[in-house]
């Protein structure tokens, strides 16, 4: 899927966040002013906030940096570049994860990274939708083929979480923590989420699609639908996170690709100590939901298999391999 070439050119002109008249846009694109109005009318459907002021023209509510393969490649490390068999950027897509799962089944591809400007059906955990306004955030999926069984790559999401924190730290974004099993937090607010989907034979080999959604800028209207504490890079580094977007995309790949490629050999044990350093749940009271059941207790970290350890009010220690965890208000 793709947006029209003219609309993309218009967005590049508007990306600086300044006012541009209809006449200026029309002349730059070689179309009529009425055609420009028609093109820009559909931007709200993509989650793009556009202002139109008489006598001034059109203006994006927030500056935008569209993804550029050339700029991303400029920041790629030699190691990541060697591990990657392709980097794709899609303007519009249903889901980067779904796209790569299908690609794996059809072609046996490996080492593919897929970015999107907009997802119409972005995936969160447990069937939730991941909000994906156009040109605002990082929507990334990586496809990797493992010779081992799906059971042998359990804990991969924890290792990828470590890679994401490393990438953010490299860019000077500190106070980042990890919330079991697959969320990246900044000062107790969710900044990013990881979703890994695995397909293949129970005895191996298997394909893993590692999905990452990271908030660079969430438009206020879109953010109203989020039911948990959240944060975006715009709030952390100031109103210029768009300038980081292509470099961030590359730095994430620089850290994620080696972790994904080496996980078969290194396993979770290689990343446990670092994950525990970043643990933002240690000692906190939480509720953990397993289906309709809710367990309450205090977090005592993760064990060597990556299971969450919860001690209840009777001092009983229980380990959880999965579950929906929220910080307790009690």
Mean pLDDT, to the nearest integer, of 272-286? 96
Strands (E), 70-109: 86-93
**111-125, 164-178, 245-259, 273-287, range with the lowest pLDDT:** 111-125
Highest mean pLDDT among 96-110, 260-274, 280-294: 260-274
Evaluate if residue 222 carries a pLDDT over 80.
no
Report the alpha-carbon distance of residue 213 to residue 232 in Å, rounded: 11
Query: Tens digits of per-residue pLDDT, 17-45?
Result: 889 988 888 888 888 888 888 778 777 77
State the pTM of this model.
0.90
| Percent with pLDDT over 70 in the chain | 93
Closest by CA position to 193, among listed 157, 169, 167, 168: 157
Top pLDDT among 89 and 26 is at 89
Residues making up the annotated binding site are 95-97, 119, 190
Evaluate if residue 225 carries a pLDDT over 80.
no
Strands 138-146 and 206-214: antiparallel
How confident is the model at residue 116, as a pLDDT? 94
How confident is the model at residue 132, as a pLDDT? 72
**27-31, 157-161, 192-196, 298-302, range with the lowest pLDDT:** 27-31
CATH topology of domain 5-60: Arc Repressor Mutant, subunit A (1.10.10)
Distance from the Cα of residue 109 to its chain's centroid: 21
Evaluate if residue 201 carries a pLDDT over 70.
yes
**Degrees to nearest 5, angle at CA 70 with 9 and 79:** 155
Residues making up the annotated binding site for biotin are 95-97, 119, 190
* CATH number of the domain located at residue range(s) 69-277 in this protein: 3.30.930.10
Report the alpha-carbon distance of residue 41 to residue 38 in Å, rounded: 5
Mean pLDDT, to the nearest integer, of 67-71? 95
Domain ranges of the chain: 5-60, 69-277, 281-327
Residue 198: both structure tokens together: 């695995």
Evaluate if residue 223 carries a pLDDT over 50.
yes
Evaluate if residue 117 carries a pLDDT over 70.
yes
Mean pLDDT, to the nearest integer, of 52-69? 87
Evaluate if residue 321 carries a pLDDT over 60.
yes
Top pLDDT among 5 and 261 is at 261
* CATH number of the domain located at residue range(s) 281-327 in this protein: 2.30.30.100
Top pLDDT among 25 and 156 is at 156
Q: Which residue is it, tokens 């000077």?
A: 172
Helix, strand, or coil (residue 305): coil
Mean pLDDT value across the chain: 89
Mean pLDDT, to the nearest integer, of 310-317? 94
**Degrees to nearest 5, angle at CA 226 with 64 and 288:** 135
Q: What are phi and psi of 184, to 5 degrees?
A: -110, 125
Evaluate if residue 105 carries a pLDDT over 60.
yes
**115-129, 236-250, 311-325, range with the lowest pLDDT:** 115-129
Report the alpha-carbon distance of residue 296 to residue 279 in Å, rounded: 18
Residue 70's pLDDT band, with cuts at 50, 70 and 90, is: very high
């Amino acid at each position: 899927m793709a947006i029209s070439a003219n609309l993309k050119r218009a967005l590049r002109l508007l990306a600086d966040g300044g006012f541009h008249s209809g006449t200026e846009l029309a002349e730059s694109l070689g179309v009529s002013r009425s055609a420009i109005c028609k093109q820009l009318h559909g931007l709200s459907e993509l989650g793009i906030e556009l202002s139109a002021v008489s006598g001034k023209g059109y203006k994006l509510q927030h500056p935008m940096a569209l993804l550029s393969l050339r700029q991303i490649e400029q920041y790629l490390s030699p190691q990541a570049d060697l591990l990657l068999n392709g980097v794709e950027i899609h303007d519009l897509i249903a889901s980067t994860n779904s796209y790569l799962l299908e690609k794996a089944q059809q072609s046996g591809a490996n080492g593919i990274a897929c970015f999107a400007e907009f997802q119409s059906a972005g995936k969160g955990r447990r069937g939730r939708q991941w909000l994906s306004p156009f040109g605002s955030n990082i929507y990334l999926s990586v496809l990797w083929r493992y010779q081992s069984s799906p059971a042998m790559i359990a804990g991969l999401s924890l290792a990828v979480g470590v890679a994401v924190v490393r990438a953010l730290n490299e860019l000077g974004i500190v106070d980042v923590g990890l919330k079991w099993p697959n969320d990246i937090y900044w000062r107790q607010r969710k900044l990013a989420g990881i979703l890994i989907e695995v397909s293949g034979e129970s005895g191996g080999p298997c394909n893993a699609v590692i999905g990452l959604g990271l908030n660079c800028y969430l438009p206020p209207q879109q953010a109203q639908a989020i039911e948990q504490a959240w944060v975006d890079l715009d709030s952390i580094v100031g109103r210029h996170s768009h300038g980081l977007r292509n470099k961030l995309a590359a730095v994430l790949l620089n850290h994620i690709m080696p972790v994904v490629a080496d996980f078969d050999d290194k396993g979770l044990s290689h990343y446990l100590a670092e994950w525990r350093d970043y643990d933002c749940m240690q000692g906190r009271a939480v509720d953990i939901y397993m289906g309709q059941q809710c367990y309450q207790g205090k977090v005592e970290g993760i064990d060597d298999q990556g299971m969450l350890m919860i001690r209840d009010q009777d001092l009983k220690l229980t380990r959880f391999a999965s579950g929906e965890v929220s910080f307790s208000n009690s």
